[in-house]
């Protein structure tokens, strides 16, 4: 396997880790803090939204507009899914929504430039944006986040697809759509979900090419062991050295799981690997085995699977599209995506959430804003939910990695996750459409039963 595809493997499995970890911060350091965050400004908020203050010398800001660049992967995308175009759809829909209300501080929010990083050119494209006088902030949906360190060093507000925990950690200018996870924290979520489908024997599997995937595999296996008495589910098979992409199939491993009586499989692998696994399970007469998917929240992918994933459970990074919109920004998302004639895809929702974060950081900074004040204002918010689309994030600590040894110290009062079940080829929220999140007591390591919750 080439070094480029090894790095892509790590990227793909990072998404799995983010979902499995229930949205808490990561132990993936590997980066250095660019600068000390500035003191948070005061004087912002909704009451100031229509105030106009003349601003000069701030890149990308004129009397009429606040301009952003979007960088993402399109050409060379090995996953084959819609990334850059769908991501832009969500950003532009959110900007259209806010601009219809008058924008902010007398200015419209605009996408000034859309840049394809062609998979391997993220750093080069990021450096070009840094040198531009026409860009206030940046949105990023990329598979190789090689330019994030430079953007952070330059103090540019950067809002990103939350699949790169290592590149986001310790960088106060980088705001991912999903809080950086703690891969080795032992959580009750997967054992609990296994118990809800009547499973008794579980497997945990991952790729050997990615240390993240290996850590994820072990954390889930440890969780089954820790919560076995409460769940009634025993982990009987663990394998953390699968070949990336399962190019040679997974027949022997499925046979071993069959012999062990496995009826529930939690994975730390990518979407295409899940399909290969499901096909082999079907071939060996194991169609009743339930799979836990870390990153298969793609209605088109599920619809084309010909029933392979029926009854499986999928982790979702944000409020599921199938939930009710009560008390959240989901109604506006659906409305403005339709008005833009754009499909409500996963990456569109990520773009919408990133755009909402950009708007809310401006609003918190106040009308006499610049890049530093916007970054500082966002980093002072302790319960950011993007209008009920996310589990609340404490941005005063969310950039800083932590390990399983610090779990009780760093976890908030609860840890939450959103999950859907595949029924009739469609997604249904497991915790309920009105309360799409399951939340566990973050201060009690023995807590097993979750509470369904709604954020908004």
Where b means 16+ CB within 10 Å and e means fewer, 197-209 reads bebebbbbbbbeb
- Cα torsion 211, 213, 218, 224 to 10°: value is 170
Q: How far apart are CA 327 and CA 95, in angstroms?
A: 20
What are the tokens at 38?
A: 């500035």
Q: Is the pLDDT of residue 21 over 50?
A: no
CA 42 to each of CA 48, 230, 376: distance values in angstroms, whole numbers, following the listed order = 11, 48, 10
Q: Which residues pair with 115 in a beta bridge?
A: 71
Q: Which residue from 295, 344, 294 is spatially nearest to 87, judged by alpha carbons?
A: 344
Q: Is the pLDDT of residue 171 over 60?
A: yes
Q: How far apart are CA 68 and CA 108, in angstroms?
A: 11
Element holding 112 (H helix, E strand): strand 108-116
Q: How far apart are CA 14 and CA 9, in angstroms?
A: 9
Q: What is the pLDDT of residues 388-408, one digit of tens each?
A: 999 999 999 889 877 766 666
Three-state secondary structure along 236-271? Answer: EEEEEEECHHHCCCCHHHHHHHHHCCCCEEEEECCH
Q: Which residues pair with 313 in a beta bridge?
A: 292, 421
Q: How far apart are CA 271 and CA 260, in angstroms?
A: 25
Band (pLDDT 50/70/90 cuts) for residue 245 is: confident
Identify the CATH homologous superfamily for domain 31-178+327-401: Response regulator (3.40.50.2300)
Considering only 48-52, 148-152, 241-245, which range has the smallest mean pLDDT?
241-245
pLDDT value of position 165: 85
CA 163 to each of CA 26, 79, 103, 406: distance values in angstroms, whole numbers, following the listed order = 12, 14, 29, 22
Q: Which residue from 303, 262, 268, 297 is spatially nearest to 280, judged by alpha carbons?
A: 262
Q: Is the pLDDT of residue 349 over 90?
A: yes
Q: How far apart are CA 158 and CA 12, in angstroms?
A: 21
Q: Is the pLDDT of residue 212 over 60?
A: yes
Band (pLDDT 50/70/90 cuts) for residue 210 is: confident
Q: How far is CA 386 from the centre of its chain?
A: 13
Band (pLDDT 50/70/90 cuts) for residue 27 is: very low
Q: Mean pLDDT over residues 92-112, rounded?
A: 98
Q: How far apart are CA 297 and CA 308, in angstroms?
A: 14
More confident residue, 291 or 244: 291
Say if residues 407 and 25 touch (Cβ distance below 8 Å).
Answer: no
Say if residues 190 and 224 touch (Cβ distance below 8 Å).
Answer: yes
CATH annotation of 1-23+183-316+412-456: 3.40.50.2300
Which of the 8 DSSP states describes residue 3?
H
CB 240: neighbour CB atoms within 10 A?
Answer: 19
pLDDT averaged over every residue in the chain:
89
Q: How far is CA 136 from the centre of its chain?
A: 24
pLDDT value of position 166: 86
- Could you tell me the residue ranges of all domains in the chain? 1-23+183-316+412-456, 31-178+327-401
Q: Which residues pair with 415 in a beta bridge?
A: 440
pLDDT value of position 182: 74
CB 32: neighbour CB atoms within 10 A?
Answer: 11
More confident residue, 452 or 1: 452
Q: Is the pLDDT of residue 443 over 80?
A: no
Look at the alpha carbons of 345, 346, 351, 357 in this order and tell me if their dihedral is positive or negative.
Answer: positive
Q: What is the pLDDT of residues 81-93, one digit of tens each?
A: 899 999 999 999 9
Q: Model-level pTM?
A: 0.89
Band (pLDDT 50/70/90 cuts) for residue 39 is: low
């Amino acid at each position: 396997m080439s070094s480029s595809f090894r790095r892509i493997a790590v990227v793909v499995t990072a998404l799995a880790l983010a979902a499995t970890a229930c949205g808490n911060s990561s132990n993936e350091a590997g980066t250095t803090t660019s600068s000390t965050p500035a003191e948070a400004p005061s004087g912002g908020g909704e009451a100031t939204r229509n105030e106009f203050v003349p601003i000069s010398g701030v890149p990308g800001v004129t009397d009429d507009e606040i301009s952003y660049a979007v960088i993402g992967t399109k050409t060379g995308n090995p996953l084959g899914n819609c990334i850059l175009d769908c991501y832009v759809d969500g950003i532009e829909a959110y900007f259209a929504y806010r601009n219809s209300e008058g924008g902010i501080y007398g200015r419209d929010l605009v996408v000034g430039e859309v840049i394809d990083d062609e998979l391997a050119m993220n750093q080069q494209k990021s450096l070009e944006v840094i040198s531009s006088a026409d860009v206030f902030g940046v949105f990023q949906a990329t598979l190789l986040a090689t330019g994030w360190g430079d953007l952070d060093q330059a103090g540019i507000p950067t809002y990103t697809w939350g699949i790169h925990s290592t590149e986001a950690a310790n960088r106060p200018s980088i705001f991912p759509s999903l809080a950086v996870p703690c891969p080795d924290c032992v959580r009750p979520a997967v054992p609990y979900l296994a118990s809800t489908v009547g499973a008794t024997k579980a497997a945990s599997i991952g790729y050997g090419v990615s240390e993240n995937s290996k850590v994820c595999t072990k954390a889930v296996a440890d969780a089954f062991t820790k919560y076995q008495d409460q769940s009634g589910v025993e982990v009987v098979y663990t394998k953390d050295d699968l070949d990336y992409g399962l190019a040679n199939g997974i027949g022997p491993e499925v046979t071993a799981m069959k012999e062990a009586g496995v009826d529930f499989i939690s994975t730390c692998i990518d979407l295409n690997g899940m399909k290969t696994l499901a096909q082999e399970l079907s071939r060996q007469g194991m169609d009743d085995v339930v799979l836990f998917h870390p990153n298969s929240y793609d209605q088109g992918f599920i619809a084309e699977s010909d029933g392979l994933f029926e009854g499986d459970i999928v982790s979702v990074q944000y409020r599921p599209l199938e939930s009710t919109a009560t008390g959240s920004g989901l109604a506006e998302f659906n409305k403005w995506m339709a008005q833009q004639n754009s499909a409500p895809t996963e990456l569109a929702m990520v773009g919408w959430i990133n755009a909402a974060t950009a708007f809310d950081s401006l609003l918190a900074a106040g009308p006499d804003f610049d890049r530093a004040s916007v970054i500082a204002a966002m980093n002072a918010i302790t319960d950011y939910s993007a209008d009920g689309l996310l589990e609340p994030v404490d941005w005063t600590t969310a950039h800083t990695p932590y390990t399983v040894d610090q779990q009780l110290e760093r976890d908030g009062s609860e840890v939450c996750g959103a999950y859907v079940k595949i029924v009739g080829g469609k997604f249904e929220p497991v915790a309920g459409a009105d309360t799409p999140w399951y939340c566990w007591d973050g201060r009690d390591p023995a807590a097993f039963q979750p509470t369904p919750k709604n954020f908004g």
